[in-house]
Amino acid sequence: MSETLTKSAARNIFFGGTVFFFVIFVGLVAHSVTKANAIAAANPVTPSVAAGKHIWERHACIDCHTLLGEGAYFAPELGNVWVRFGGLESPDGARDALKAWIKNQPTGIAGRRQMPHFNINESELDQLVDFLKWTSEIDTQKWPPQVSG
């Protein structure tokens, strides 16, 4: 049996491969960081958005709703609720409508799933809406495909 792969050739392949893929790895990390920074700069997390996220978490909205597909499938997707409520055409109208919706729960309409009432004050409601608006501006590559959620 002839020895085609010498010890030194095997060592060169090992070290060469390690260096090659390490360089690719560093390049991919640099790409991710640059892209993440650009995304963060385009859609900054303001203090109000951050506060809104805390309110969202405190009231466990995710126990019934999904946000960009994650969460419970009892109630509508809210990642694009800002768009669904007309936020792109009329931001003030969408803000008022979202706040009014949350304030007026439960509807008590027979045959419809009910959302509980949450005691959320005006400024917290604004922060919550800022969070939902911010979420709708994440580049999800057009997901969900329909505005209905």
Q: At what angle do helices 122-136 and 47-58 cross, to 10 degrees?
A: 100
In what helix (H) or strand (E) does residue 71 lie, and over which residues does it extend? strand 70-71
Decide if residue 110 touches ligand HEC (CB under 6 A).
Answer: no
Identify which of residues 76 and 144 has a Cβ nearer to ligand HEC in the complex: 76
In the range 20-59, which residues lie near ligand HEC by CB under 6 A?
59
The site that binds ligand HEC (CB under 6 A) totals a number of residues, namely 23
Please tell me whether residue 97 binds ligand HEC under the rule CB under 6 A: no
The residue assigned the tokens 């009910």 is 114
Q: Fill in the DSSP letter of residue 77.
A: B
**Of residues 103, 93, 94, 148, the one with CA closest to residue 125:** 103
CB 78 within 8 Å of CB 66? yes
Q: Does 107 bind ligand HEC (CB under 6 A)?
A: yes
- 65 sits near ligand HEC (criterion: CB under 6 A): yes
Cβ closer to ligand HEC: 53 or 84? 84
Residues within the interface to ligand HEC (CB under 6 A): 59-61, 63-65, 74-76, 78, 81, 84, 98, 101-102, 107, 112-116, 118, 128
